Amino acid sequence: MSRMVGTEDQPVPGYSIVHKIGEGGQATVYLAERDHDGLRVALKVLERRLRSDPVFLERFVREYKLVTSLENEYVARIYDQGFSGDNPYIAMEFLPSGTLAGRIHLGLTPRAALRLTRQIARALDAIHSRGIVHRDLKPANILFRPDGRPVIVDFGLAKDMGVNSTLTVAGRLVATPRYMSPEQCQGLPVDARSDLYSLGVILWEMLTGHRIYADASPSELIIMHVSSPIPKLPSSLSHHQPTLDRLLAKNPEDRFQSASELCGDITL
């Protein structure tokens, strides 16, 4: 259902802004209350400078359609979407239990890191089974329900493998280089194994508390994902190296071939 637009302080009529949650390169997310019942939602509003860009507008519409089609516990619920006027928006489930980025910052035990990796792999398996590849998996895009279950959000770059789409953004790098697979860095076709590479980067971060290739610039990161050796864990964590090596293999054929295979490899 589409709504008419509002002001910057009240960007979508029918929703009252509580405060801004976050702001990225493509959208601003607000904590808002739905006026007719007080339901708290995360209100994602496309950035003003992108509202006349047909590629980003199409991505915004596609995100809504993809997430609505998934309907499972590992993906944030969608309540409403509007696409008329100057404020395209998506109203989705508000998840107040923080992000994986926040948990990494506080520090995780190796056991907790492996448990989260397996939970995220289960989430990816549910998504991949519907023919969807996320393509921008990173700690900031993994949130949690109150019971600790991870929820994957931000499907703006997701690919429906069953749809022949050539939607691109010429000359722009729209994913996050820190977590991109080698094939994504090279502009090659990607499948579910690309998300598993990104999960390997996240696992490295959870185990070590540091970002992979920490001091590299975005352009250097792209080169390093393609050609640099897989980094080695500290000796105290070396027994996790075989799992990491398979996740971070440069050739997708050398990785785990599915998220469910990864789940089976992790024992706690």
**Residues annotated as part of the active site:** 136
Sequence-distant (6+) residues with CB within 8 A of 53 are none
- What do you get for the CA distance between the two ends of the chain, in Å? 45
3-state SS class at 16: strand
Find, among 36, 34, 54, 57, the residue nearest to 46 by Cα: 57
- Rounded to an integer, what is the distance from CA 256 to the centroid of its chain? 19
Query: Tokens 């897989």, residue?
Result: 230
Find, among 203, 198, 225, the residue nearest to 213 by Cα: 225
Lookup: tokens for 29: 């997310």
Q: Identify the burial level of 33 via C-beta atoms within 10 angstroms of its C-beta, where 0-12 means exposed, 13-18 middle and 19 or more buried.
A: middle
- Rounded to an integer, what is the distance from CA 255 to the centroid of its chain? 20
Sequence-distant (6+) residues with CB within 8 A of 206 are 100, 104, 108, 112, 113, 116, 117
CA–CA distance, 118 with 124 (Å, rounded to integer): 10
Q: Are 197 and 224 in contact (CB under 8 A)?
A: no
Altogether, the residues listed in the chain come to a count of 268
